[in-house]
Structure 1
Amino acid sequence: MPHRSVDWLLAARAQANCLHRHVTDAGPRGVAEVVRRTGGLQAQAWRGAAYAVRARSTATTLADVSEAQEVDRSVVRGWFMRGTLQLVAVEDAGPLLGLLGPKQIKDTERRYGELGLTEAVRAEAADRLEEHLLTHGPTGRAELADVLVKAGLIKEPRGQAVYALIRHTGLLGRLCYGPGHDRDETWVAVRDWLGKPLVLEGDVEDLARRYLTAYGPATARDLATWSGLPVPTARAAVEAVATESFEIEGDVLVAVEDLPGSQAARLLGEFDAYLLGYQDRRQALADEHQRKVYPGGGMLRPAVVRAGRVIGTWRHADRSYELFGPQVDLADELADVARFAG
């Protein structure tokens, strides 16, 4: 088994995760290709997902990301890996929910109980929400809350139960995000928006292979962390598909190919998938800088990465940046951020 350094590992992961900017297609096609190659992008902050596309492509724009989701519909925003919001390729939505949705629903049972959302209430809510969306099209949170209140399923339209029921219906594959972002976001019925219901069937070995393609070298626990799969399931799938093994500081990591690695510097958006794809983030980010990137409260700031290692943070508002060590030339990246934003 070959022995490799941490520097090699991080550079190889950066290349696997498309941070060498392999995707050269423009328009929605380029957006979908990035999303497909990475297995999905974290999208709890829509802007973060959009800038994750930029960091992995050369010709896409901010408008292209909206078009891919809202017009071309080649990508879907919904709850997938770990039950969190993701942007995934349309053909992956059904398989991912088939593999991950039931466990995420089970893992949310305690919260459902705290909110008084019984299985019967959740089932009725899913029917009512889907029926409304099929009839009325894209609908915002306030109107969906009104639907639930009028049906007698919840009492408080501003409470957390509204979002919990919307998310639950999404995990069933019956609704997803539609047009609009942030305060203007809406939801739509999947079978209307995509033209047909999702087929909720997935292959766990295929998921493991795609994960290792986009994040390897990695471990079974990394796959479990990224996806939300149980560790034993992830371990069996990884063992079935891995073709390369490497020893790095006493640990064995596996992959599906041996990559030379990327030395590129990239400005990542907030909640970038690269920084959420592994159980242990200490290799990519030194302990003394953790709070600068992960300040608490579930936040993950826009990061500067070079050769797979986090070397600083940056701000969208004024495109300023703070590096943790020696200066690096970011002129090309800053210019591309401006190009992307239009």
Structure 2
Amino acid sequence: MDWLLAARMQANCLARPVNEAGPGGVADVVRRTGGLQAQTWRGAAYAVRARSTSTVLADVAHAQSVDRSVVRGWFMRGTLQLVAVEDAGPLLGLLGPKLIKDTERRFGELGLPADVRARAADVLEEYLLAHGPSNRAQLADVLVAAGLIAEPKGQAVYALIRYAGLLGRVCYGPGETWVAVSSWLGKPLELSGDVEDLARRYLHAYGPATARDFATWSALSVPTARRAVEAVATESFEVDGVSVVAVDDLPGCRDLRMLGEFDAYLLGYQNRFQELPIAIFPGGGMLRPAVIEAGRAIGSWTHADLSVDVFDGRPDLSAELTDLARFAG
């Protein structure tokens, strides 16, 4: 099992293969990993740091808001992700319809039938095309004025913005604002993608893994994920009675790395082949900053003071702590 975790660590770019500085380095990391979890901007930024050697914190915002080589929106699992701009259309073409279908019950609870959602997507896009980056309060007022929701508070506002995002019409702009995709990126997204290509890219970034891992990461159905994985896998291994497949046979990375919250490495699998302690995975959808070595979680840490709680071994953290300071500037 140790070799599996080390191989996964290398596949997920945690050997820090990206040496380019600036927004180009950010885009390279995002491209290689197939996307980074971005519930928090800080989490996405520190995921870039853990996979590159020359980027700095400001580069991540520059790549998204100025260079626009990466885009923040709702992609895998319907959660916020930072993806390469060329991947946004294919991802939404493959995942968007199922993610919308999977949210139907919640839309019903919020009183948002299909016709209201469709009209809201039009209204939001039209407003953003005319006014540029806008925050939640501004978009809530627009939806109320259009008669689509009764009041500018509550979860319906975010649900409608997210719905427009899953259609490929809205994404995040600077900070916590939203923009019309067609103006922000210069053209509409082409919503088409190939599931086998996505499976291949997943295995490059997360393998060795299973079809259920791919389904968990993407939110595709297990049968769809299984067919795609079986079509593209070139290597097969047995680990604790579980068959895992890959497209590369990697020697593995045994480095120590300090990951930010919600790191993609710990969210990319149905079976992590390790138990995460409560200090890292307290429940309630939270995933705190972790210290990993050779792919295994050995501790947790906090951004505020860089304090570390190591619960396995006595690792040398000096290089990582120095690099965290370099990255933050």
TM range (shorter): over 0.9
Matches within 5 A, 1:1-342: 6-180=1-175, 185-281=176-272, 283-285=273-275, 289=277, 291-342=278-329
CA distance in 1, matches of 2:309, 2:79: 29
Code of the residue aligned with 2:125 in structure 1: it is E
Code of the residue aligned with 2:275 in structure 1: it is L
CA distance in 2, matches of 1:149, 1:252: 52
Gaps (5+ residues) in structure 1? 1-5
Q: Displacement, 1:8?
A: 0.2
Q: Displacement, 1:325?
A: 1.8
> What SS class does the counterpart of residue 246 from structure 1 fall into?
strand
> What SS class does the counterpart of residue 317 from structure 1 fall into?
coil
CA distance in 2, matches of 1:263, 1:78: 32
Matched pairs, number: 329
Q: Per-residue displacement from partner, 1:193-247 (whole Å, max 9, x unpaired)? A: 0000000000000000000000000000000000000000000000000000011
Q: Displacement, 1:285?
A: 3.1
Code of the residue aligned with 1:241 in structure 2: it is V
Gaps (5+ residues) in structure 2? none
> TM-score, normalising length from structure 1?
0.95
Percent of aligned positions with the same letter in both sequences? 76
Are the aligned partners of 1:16 and 1:213 in contact in 2 as well (CA < 8 Å)? Answer: yes
Code of the residue aligned with 1:54 in structure 2: it is R
Code of the residue aligned with 2:22 in structure 1: it is G
> What SS class does the counterpart of residue 87 from structure 1 fall into?
strand
Code of the residue aligned with 2:307 in structure 1: it is S
> What SS class does the counterpart of residue 299 from structure 2 fall into?
strand
CA distance in 1, matches of 2:242, 2:125: 47
RMSD: 0.6
CA distance in 2, matches of 1:284, 1:73: 36
> What SS class does the counterpart of residue 244 from structure 2 fall into?
strand
Q: Displacement, 1:284?
A: 3.1
CA distance in 2, matches of 1:277, 1:52: 13
Q: Displacement, 1:251?
A: 1.2
Q: Displacement, 1:249?
A: 1.4
CA distance in 2, matches of 1:330, 1:284: 22
> What SS class does the counterpart of residue 311 from structure 1 fall into?
strand
